[in-house]
Chains A and B, each alone.
Chain A
Amino acid sequence: NAGVTQTPKFRVLKTGQSMTLLCAQDMNHEYMYWYRQDPGMGLRLIHYSVGEGTTAKGEVPDGYNVSRLKKQNFLLGLESAAPSQTSVYFCASSWGLYNEQFFGPGTRLTVL
């Protein structure tokens, strides 16, 4: 089992460009999450999903959109990238409400 995978691992964007980060999990988890990690701020929840076809806002959702068309995939989109979105992005998944989350390896995004 691959667990949680993220594509791409690294990306550099120019301000105003768009991109989509892909997260895939093969554990049949219902819940999936997108976090961003910035120095000195821990991880902050961007959006999450409690099942196929559902999404919800987390702590810092502005500037991002998500979709969960298939249970195993959770996409994070940046429509018009800004330098403030330079960060490391982590995807995670879990079985249920209070179970531990399994994290992907992260995507390092730089917006110039």
Chain B
Amino acid sequence: AQKVTQAQTEISVVEKEDVTLDCVYETRDTTYYLFWYKQPPSGELVFLIRRNSFDEQNEISGRYSWNFQKSTSSFNFTITASQVVDSAVYFCALSEGDILTGGGNKLTFGTGTQLKVEL
């Protein structure tokens, strides 16, 4: 069974600090996808990034960057120069589908990390 662990329940930082959110996953599949979602205080879930298991290149998008390491089964998310608007719960998720039976994209979510960015 697949599993996603976000060991950091809550992180507090001061604005402009860099912060890394950890994500460790378990799966027996060779083909899988990893995702990060953001849930701001308003409650909606916002997609941030998708990464497939065959692409270990790190990705940067503005102040956001992601570090995918298959050797340690980790997919960590770093926010550089954090801002108050980054305050949210961040979820890491793992998707493995049963291609043979068309099982669909079943996401397994971690329990989330609450990030608080203060002035």
Give A contacts to B, CB under 8 Å.
31, 33, 40-45, 48-50, 56, 58-59, 88, 90, 92, 94, 96-103, 105-106
Chain A nearest CB, measured from B45 CB (Å): 4
Give every chain A residue within 8 A of B106 (Cβ-Cβ): 45, 48, 58
Which among B45, B104, B109 has the highest number of chain A CB atoms within 10 Å? B104
Give the size range of B's interface with the partner.
Answer: 20 to 34
Q: Which residue of B lies closest to A108 (CB)?
A: B43
Give every chain A residue within 8 A of B107 (Cβ-Cβ): 33, 43, 45, 101
Give every chain B residue within 8 A of A90 (Cβ-Cβ): 45
Give every chain A residue within 8 A of B112 (Cβ-Cβ): 42
User: B43 is contacted by which of A31, A50, A58, A105 (Cβ under 8 Å)?
Assistant: A105
Additional pairs, 4, CB under 8 Å, beyond known A42-B110, A102-B47? A48-B106, A97-B102, A98-B95, A106-B44
